[in-house]
Amino acid sequence: MPPTPKPPIPEDTYEALMEATFRALCKRGYSNLRVRDIDPEFEKSRQLINHYYDGKDELILALLKYLLQVYENGIELGDDADPNRLLERYVHQFLHGPDLDGFDHWELMKALEELRSQAQHQPDHQALLSETYDHITATLVGIIEDGIDEGRFRDVDAELFAHAINGIINTARTRKICLGQDEAIETAQRALDAIVLPQLRREPDAGAG
């Protein structure tokens, strides 16, 4: 007999639970996190958590999807936004973190680094992390392609540039978190601004005036 599906979670309960799970994950790390560690962060009961989610791993999967939306919300500037501005917002969101009160980008990055290091042993997490990377990359590809179509960017391989930009961002995160090299973020920003992004942006015609 197939398992009974979980009921849909109300929006306010969902947001409160995701925020509580996020705080607990940042404090405890993935390996040490238990569902009961979320209780002090959640105003409602653990029974309610169990009513909607089957344990820690299912909660973490839901949290990753929730956090992806948090990061992407900071990129949206409207349908007619300048691709250059969207590109700047993308880099800021994923390199420096969202500008939100009470949101600790680097505590989250530490927890995600731990998740990535163990993903080979957690097929569901590996699949979601891979799906998340592909989704983020597709968002950046879309920004670059729109810029090409509007004549703001050169006619480049958008997917290749997207992987290059994300590679610099991810390497900088790893250097800061795993190696304690705090300067890695500023170095990455300078590399993007001085080397990568100028190769993408189209220069004004020299004869225009």
Beta bridge partners of 153: 201
pLDDT digits (tens, 9 = 90+) for 19-69: 899 889 888 888 888 988 898 888 887 788 888 888 888 888 888 888 888
Residue 81 per-residue DSSP state: -
pTM assigned to the model: 0.82
Cβ count near 147 (within 10 Å): 22
What are the residue ranges of helices labelled H in 120-157? 123-149
CB 71 within 8 A of CB 93: yes
- The pLDDT of residue 8 is 79
Residues 6+ positions from 199 with CB-CB distance below 8 Å: 154, 156, 161
Four-residue CA torsion sign, 120, 123, 125, 130: positive
- The residue ranking higher by pLDDT, 201 or 80, is 201
What percentage of the chain carries pLDDT values higher than 70?
Answer: 91
**Architecture of the domain made up of 1-67:** Orthogonal Bundle (1.10)
Average pLDDT over residues 98-116: 83
Name the residue ranges covered by the structural domains of the chain. 1-67, 74-204
100-104, 124-128, 163-167, 197-201: range with lowest mean pLDDT: 100-104
Q: Rounded mean pLDDT of the chain?
A: 86
Rounded Cα distance, 54 and 111, in Å? 21
- The pLDDT of residue 140 is 95
Cβ count near 20 (within 10 Å): 21
φ, ψ for residue 10 (rounded to 5)?
A: -60, 150
- The residue ranking higher by pLDDT, 91 or 75, is 91
Q: Give Cα separations from 187 to 10, 134, 137, 193, 197 (angstroms).
A: 43, 25, 21, 10, 14
pLDDT above 50: residue 98: yes
- The pLDDT of residue 207 is 43
Beta bridge partners of 201: 153
- The pLDDT of residue 136 is 92
CATH number of 74-204: 1.10.357.10
pLDDT digits (tens, 9 = 90+) for 129-178: 898 899 999 999 999 999 999 999 999 999 999 999 999 999 999 999 99
- The pLDDT of residue 151 is 94
